[in-house]
Amino acid sequence: MASRVKKILVIHGPNLDLLGKRQPSLYGQKTLGAINTLLKETARKSKVTLTILQSNHEGKIVDLIGKAKGRYNAILINPAAYTHTSVAIRDAIEACGVPTVEVHLTNIYAREKFRQTSLIAPVCVGQVSGFGAESYRLGLLASLTILAPTR
Ligand code: DQA
């Protein structure tokens, strides 16, 4: 039976645990905790529940995505550096079939050449890039428009 409360899996990729301390002029002053609080407030108003995880390990992220089918109605992910390198995360998203929104704090298309390619974007419903912490809130709102049923 379909669960009534919609659930969204939020995944923060490598080095995002350092937000607030990591190149604040680029990534902003907000810590990951502050961003998660912003997401939880938005989720509460929208009556959805969030499971939020951060990992520096590609395989851990692949495992999380692999278990998302039937449990989550959407995925919100900032794959961070894995955006530009991870065929494994891309394949996991494609295989799990859970509608996914990719977010970035910075505008990856206005940065170094190697950041201007996302291997993840083609298997996502869409991408929000360049609005700082607000990218996450916008991405969460976008994910509410594409919720898939769970078992
Ligand atoms: C990022 C952009 C990536 O290129 C970078 O490796 C990150 C953060 C962003 O949110 O702007 O770690 O995903």
The pLDDT tens digits of the residues spanning 8-30 come to 999 999 999 999 999 999 999 99
Integer Cα distance of 143 and 64 in angstroms: 18
CATH number of the structural domain 6-146 = 3.40.50.9100
- % of residues, the chain, pLDDT over 90: 95
Length of the chain: 151
Options 27, 72, 82, 136, the catalytic residue: 27
pLDDT grade, residue 150 (50/70/90)? confident
For the entire predicted model, the pTM comes to: 0.96
121 lines ligand 1 (CB under 6 A): no
83 lines ligand 1 (CB under 6 A): yes
pLDDT grade, residue 63 (50/70/90)? very high
Does residue 59 contact residue 87 with C-beta atoms inside 8 Å?
A: no
* Spans of all domains in the chain: 6-146
12 is catalytic: no
Q: Which of 10, 11, 16 has most ligand 1 atoms within 8 Å of CB, for mutation?
A: 16
> Strand pairing partners for 64?
none
